[in-house]
Amino acid sequence: MNVRSNDLVSLIGSRICHDLISPIGAIGNGIELISLTGSGSGPEMALISESVNNAQARIRFYRIAFGASNGGQNVAGSEAAEIMRDIYGTGRLSVTWEPRGEVRRAEAKLLFLLVQCLESAMPHGGRIVVAASNGRWTTTGSAAKFRNLAEFWDLLREPSAEAEVGPDTIQFALAPLQAADLGRRLDLQISPTDIRIAF
């Protein structure tokens, strides 16, 4: 077997998302059928429906961020924008996906990981914008205050840097690996009000 560790992580992510999407989709269909009968219109059903919708959006996000991205697969800009809107549309953190054209699945994977990196640094909310110009992608987070994640930002600058990576910061370890797979280098710029990551 000749599979790299980064590929194994992606294949595991794809498998988990694949196995979860069907039962969660079935729950959503069941809720929709109940609502059509008129017997499920209370606050409890609204809460269940909202939770299922959020779970479906998260799985779609994770499928791109942590799933396999081999081959010539693309992601539509409208799909990426919809996923961001479904997850971040009502909270303190907003994410705007500006490009409307298709993006290579491998590039979308890196961009989704970078959105998660910025989200980790913005516990009090703010705004993240994903943009593209002349073949160069930028992911910019703007906030009044950022969490101090210096050791993790060092991982984006230099993947061999030392950092205690946990489940909530795994994106900082995966993003530079994905950038390397693309043959790209991450350019990180940090100011008191903005964090900008380009490749």
Indicate if the pLDDT at residue 91 is higher than 90.
no
Indicate if the pLDDT at residue 1 is higher than 50.
no
Return the closest-CA partner of residue 115 out of 102, 101, 96, 100: 96
Q: pLDDT at position 9, please?
A: 65
Return the closest-CA partner of residue 108 out of 56, 55, 69, 157: 69
Q: pLDDT at position 3, please?
A: 42
Mean pLDDT score, 82-106: 92
What are the helix (H) ranges across the chain? 5-37, 43-66, 77-88, 105-120, 150-157, 170-181
Return the closest-CA partner of residue 130 out of 157, 144, 109: 109
Q: Read off the pTM.
A: 0.84
Q: What percentage of residues in the chain have a pLDDT greater than 90?
A: 56
35-39, 75-79, 167-171: which range is least confident on average? 35-39
Mean pLDDT score, 79-92: 91
Tell me how far apart the alpha carbons of residues 199 and 187 are, in angstroms, rounded to a whole number.
6
For residue 186, name the pLDDT band (cuts at 50, 70, 90): very high
**Among all chains, which residue has been given the structure tokens 């694949």?**
18
Indicate if the pLDDT at residue 61 is higher than 70.
yes
Indicate if the pLDDT at residue 38 is higher than 90.
no
160: DSSP letter: T
For residue 2, name the pLDDT band (cuts at 50, 70, 90): very low
72: DSSP letter: T
